[in-house]
Structure 1
């Protein structure tokens, strides 16, 4: 019996040792995860890229605990170590911050310079020449802005990241962005004129005409392309530093959230200064509330698009432009027999707070929605992972 007891004890000890020894192969959870994300592991240049990719696929620190790791970063380090050991790749290095290039600096300054030149040409010309100058200036500014958004910090070059490609989103948002900017230029004057029974004539391109043109906000927004690019560059550079130093997804989100809000406030401060300067130069009201709301909306929409989140900006910009268009449409529709009630809400709003209250409230609400969305999306590690190099 003593011999049998000894054999039983040895057998129990062997089973205990086998159970405590981590087994590789099909039952190894990390290996199974690596097989599921084989392409991500093979192309990763550092563990941070694997961590960002796992997070983009829905992995959280709590999920990583099922793989016997304290967080996603620790899990990514093991996955990278296994791939590196097999492929004999170099040791990981922190992601480098994007460099400032003279090309994109010039491109971000170009829209403001061309807008100032176009406004000067409109001011110095008359009649048909003024119309041609306005058309040529608008085309030049649009082309310069398009070039600025395709290069530098305001462009999205990492099209291999998870998420929709930027081209389709740009096509959806461009008409609505143009409408919002055009409304800030001509919309308030048209709304006032429509409520008074007009317009009887086309805009003359001046601020004192029957259909006044408000150019100060548009000039300030064009000039703000440069501080927007610098703010986006600052966010990317600082976020990648924090990405290299973070030890968990929650830690990274906590560190990046005040950075995002600070960059947003920095841009709004720069835009406020440009609005004051533009209003003084043109001798027009700066319309701070309306222009700041519109600038915040456009900046957040571009920031989200730059980092690969294109759906929300497209929806919010479309909604904001639609609200402004409906406000104008109801005023004209109210002239039809029996439909006078349609203009009552807009007329009451304009009578109480002025014509600029319509775009101000609309853009402010839209910007607030995007700000809440940005604090969720742009605090994720996957939003700031370096783009994969072109192959």
Structure 2
């Protein structure tokens, strides 16, 4: 939110801020200016809510009594730019909500909720001829060719890399794998730098990308390593073979995940466009929240259905087990983490990704630590899971719990009007 700037009314006395037309006196600067010099950043932590600013002016200043009798006027001065550019009360309500104003805070301004407070603020803003109207919702989704094509790049590069691995042997295979991993990483970075999945407003938490790559690497190598470790191995390094060998690779999941970059971006675009449309049509914050919650769940379900279909196709094309449980849960986790990051909520996804990668790494570490004298009990939980449901149960349970956590968090964050009030720059 923008604070009030310098007032250009000539003859402004020192120490006061604005002319009060009702009391014919000057409002003190403390009554109309925010004491916070910088706007709050939108993110996971809630900022301090707006309060009626105290007036330290002497008792003989006429504006002091006016500000005390009309606290909404001081709030309007504090958020003058927001009030002037708003096209409807809901936009003011979304801005106040992003600034930390809650229904409880609104009661201090003699209103039952934030939307009622925003309606009064909107009605009291002078406009030229009152010609401003609510914006017309978009009638159709518009896809831009730049990010739409970039989302297809990771899957194409991954498919080319896997084809090269199947056609080469020995040292050429290792070179092909190294070049292919680098190409896929650059392709994913390009796909996530534009469009609906690009972070808006805030940069991702440091290290979150590293943990994401760990989870993807575990999807390729983890199940084979865990199976070999439980059996007493592995007896050698991975050779890039997908069938047999001391340490087989799972290539169908990673191919499906890279191909799913396109449906992930399109699903995120669909969610953002529909949410902005509901923001325009809603008459209150509660109505907007109740309408966006099913939209969010439907978007996640749509992406998971498309990922499952891609996984079935890649498994059949590569003649590998599809590994539905661990791949679908990992896809849900990565999609929700990126969706939250794209709307400015970066802390929770980073924490959940770090926790998930740590649990998967600890599961592998306990198997090897159990080989030490007197430490055999460490392997009991992992051995039980592997014997009962297979090595894929470890990432499936871990990623599933993490994805559920992020889904609950997204139901709190992405259903707020403040998450969609500003245009993210994507079509």
| Bin of the TM-score, shorter chain as denominator length | 0.7 to 0.9
- Of 378, 390, 409, 1:373 maps to 409
1:197, CA displacement in angstroms? 1.6
Question: Are 1:110 and 2:149 counterparts?
Answer: no
C-alpha distance in 2, partners of 1:388/1:365?
30
Q: Matches of 1:129 and 1:156 in 2, distance apart?
A: 37
- Cα distance in 2 between the residues matched to 1:284 and 1:75: 59
**2:370–2:379 Cα contact (<8 Å) kept:** yes
Equivalent of 1:59 in 94, 98, 101: 101
TM-score (norm 1): 0.86
Counterpart CA distance in 1 for 2:363 and 2:246 is 20
Name the count of aligned residue pairs.
358
Residues 1:362 and 2:404 aligned together? no
**Structure-2 residue corresponding to 1:254:** 290
For structure 2, the residue ranges without an aligned partner over 5 or more in a row are 1-64
CA–CA distance in structure 1, aligned partners of residues 159 and 176 of structure 2: 12
TM alignment of 1:50-199, pairs within 5 A: 50-61=92-103, 63-69=105-111, 71-83=113-125, 85=127, 91-94=132-135, 99-157=142-200, 159=201, 165-167=202-204, 169=205, 171-199=206-234
- The corresponding residue for 1:310 is 346
* Stretches of structure 1 lacking an aligned partner (at least 5 in a row): 1-22, 160-164
Distance 1:323 1:100, change over 3 A: same
Query: Over residues 82-116 of structure 1, what are the superposed CA-to-partner deviations in whole Å (9 max), with x where a residue is unaligned?
Result: 4453x899725438667421000001111111111
Which of 289, 313, 328 is 2:364 aligned to? Answer: 328
The superposition leaves residues 50-85 of structure 1 with CA deviations (integer Å, 9 ceiling, x where unpaired) of: 221211233234543553555433433443454453
Q: Kindly tell me: are residues 212 and 154 of structure 1, through their superposed partners in 2, closer, same or farther at Cα, counting changes over 3 Å?
A: same
Deviation at 1:371, TM superposition (A): 0.8
| TM-score, scaled relative to structure 2 | 0.79
Rounded Cα–Cα distance in structure 1 between residues aligned with 2:371 and 2:156: 42
> Within 1, Cα distance between the matches of 2:79 and 2:291?
28
- RCO comparison, higher one (Cα < 8 Å, 6+): 1
Higher helix proportion: 1
Q: Which runs of structure 1 show a deviation greater than 6 angstroms over 4 or more consecutive aligned residues? A: 87-90
Q: In 2, distance between residues paired with 1:270 and 1:348?
A: 32
| Structure 1 position 268 matched with structure 2 position 304 | yes
Match of 1:223 in 2: 259
